[in-house]
Structure 1
Amino acid sequence: MKQKVIEILKERSVIKKVILLAFLFIYTTINSQSLLSGNYSYCYGVTDNGECKIFSFKNNGVFQREIQGELGKINYGKGHYQIKNDSLILNYDLTELKINSFRKYKTYFNDSDSIKLYVRVFSHSEKVRPNVSVLNLKDRYGEVTDKDGLAVLSFKKQAGSKKIQVSDLCCGNYSFEIDTKLNYEIEVYLSEGYNKPKAIKNQIEKYKIMKLNKNQLKLKEGEQIITLKKKS
């Protein structure tokens, strides 16, 4: 009977220690996340032509990150973060992908000795895009879309293909190839904004935390040390 009582007391002691360790872990994690919560930035390179990393950490364990350059956003990502021991782990599992430029087209054949290429240009929001260049760079031949977003090009019918580039000062360039034995009716939808930032998705990054206080976050990745300043 005495032995059984001792075993029960030992089991209770172990359970208490497990509960205490779990409580300490949860408290440390919540406290670290609370301290980390906020916006941070790290800029490098020459001031006018450099780049800035910007991180935003929320108390709910969600972060956002982007790199800004001279011409705007270069890349971006979003996901969950956790602080484990002395490491910051970023999981880019929430990044929302932006739609790239794309086209829809129909083709037809006839007995003419030339082909026609009808290209109508829109933005992603389906607004027509006038004054957009539609050209074949190799032949230095092209047209500009009219007020209805339409450009019409003609080529000699022959075996082979040609590369067509749609070029807009607002939205950048979009290229595709055509078969020079077929006529085309094409709708091109350009992604809005000249700079197309790259998305970071389904990637995990791990940093060693060198310092974390109310003013800065110092991280180490490999041999590189990054000091992020907290924005007030």
Structure 2
Amino acid sequence: METINLKGQNVIKYLLYIVIVFSSNCMFCQKQIVGRYSSLMPNQEYYNYFDFNANGTFEYHSGASLGDDEFGKGHYEIDKDSLILNYDLTEVQYDSYYKSQRYFNSKDSIKIIFNAYNFDNTPIHKLQIYSYPNYNSTITDFDGKAMLSFKKEKLNTKIEIHIEGEFLVKQVICIDLSANYIFNVYMNSSVIIGFGHPRAIKDEIKKYGLLEFRDNSLKLNHNGKIIELVKQSK
């Protein structure tokens, strides 16, 4: 009878061992992550989250109340005990740009003329334009036109011209104070009030150690740093 009890106990221990090993392995046998996972609590000024989809794609967003500071999009893969994020689907936006003409004369001052448009060639009113470091400023009129004037300096005396507006991608132009300029500036829209597009992550692969994978949380290791992501409602 004692021998039978010992055998029964051994069987139970063996079954428990199988269950533990099976559960541990199954933690990583799932190939899909679905839902929004964040390292921050919801309803805060700042946010940082991943949206994982059943088709193997994801989106990453990080920012604050004014909008994204950083974003990316791509494919994800679970390979054994690793989570691999391939940022291969991020859509990169166009920056603002300009076309310039330059001319010289014998006057003791120079003129910088601006014609400002959006990407639909519509003139932009109240676009802010200022120089640095010797400060001078103006704004564009209803026709998108503005002008700055400076004392003429020696060749290769440089200053910066900053051009910006609300929900527009800022641009900075470097000019020589020995020349006159005509600038046609084309300003692209931005999704945030700040000075440019959010920082786009593209053509990058990030690999995380997958320490835990549960229904409502992920625990990752990235270069020795432990990251806990908790599932949230969208």
Alignment partner of 1:158 is 2:158: no
Question: What is the root-mean-square deviation of aligned Cα atoms in Å?
Answer: 2.5
Q: Distance in 2 between matches of 1:116 and 1:103?
A: 17
What TM-score comes out, normalization by structure 2 length? 0.75
Distance 1:64 1:179, change over 3 A: same
Which amino acid is 2:31 matched to? Q
Which amino acid is 2:123 matched to? V
Structure 1 runs not aligned, ≥5 long? 1-27
Map 1:1-232 onto structure 2 (within 5 A).
32-34=30-32, 36-43=33-40, 47-48=44-45, 51-159=46-154, 160-171=157-168, 173-193=170-190, 194-195=193-194, 196-232=197-233
Q: SS at the partner of 1:129? A: coil
Q: SS at the partner of 1:65? A: strand
Contact 2:129/2:164 (<8 A) preserved: yes
The answer for the alignment partner of 2:6 in structure 1 is: none
Q: Distance in 1 between matches of 2:139 and 2:47?
A: 37
Q: SS at the partner of 1:75? A: strand
Q: Distance in 1 between matches of 2:31 and 2:99?
A: 47
100-109 or 166-175, larger mean C-alpha shift = 166-175
Q: Distance in 2 between matches of 1:141 and 1:207?
A: 50
Q: Distance in 1 between matches of 2:205 and 2:147?
A: 47
Shift in Å at residue 172 of structure 1?
Answer: 6.1
Q: Distance in 2 between matches of 1:189 and 1:130?
A: 13
88-97 or 182-191, larger mean C-alpha shift = 182-191
Shift in Å at residue 125 of structure 1?
Answer: 4.0
Q: Deviations over 1:111-164 (max 9, x none)?
A: 433321111222344332211222224333222110011111222333223221
Which amino acid is 1:33 matched to? K
Contact 2:95/2:169 (<8 A) preserved: no
- Paired residues, number: 200
* Greater per-residue helix proportion: 1
Q: Deviations over 1:64-111 (max 9, x none)?
A: 111122432011111121111111011112212112222211112234
The answer for the alignment partner of 1:6 in structure 2 is: none
Contact 2:96/2:169 (<8 A) preserved: no
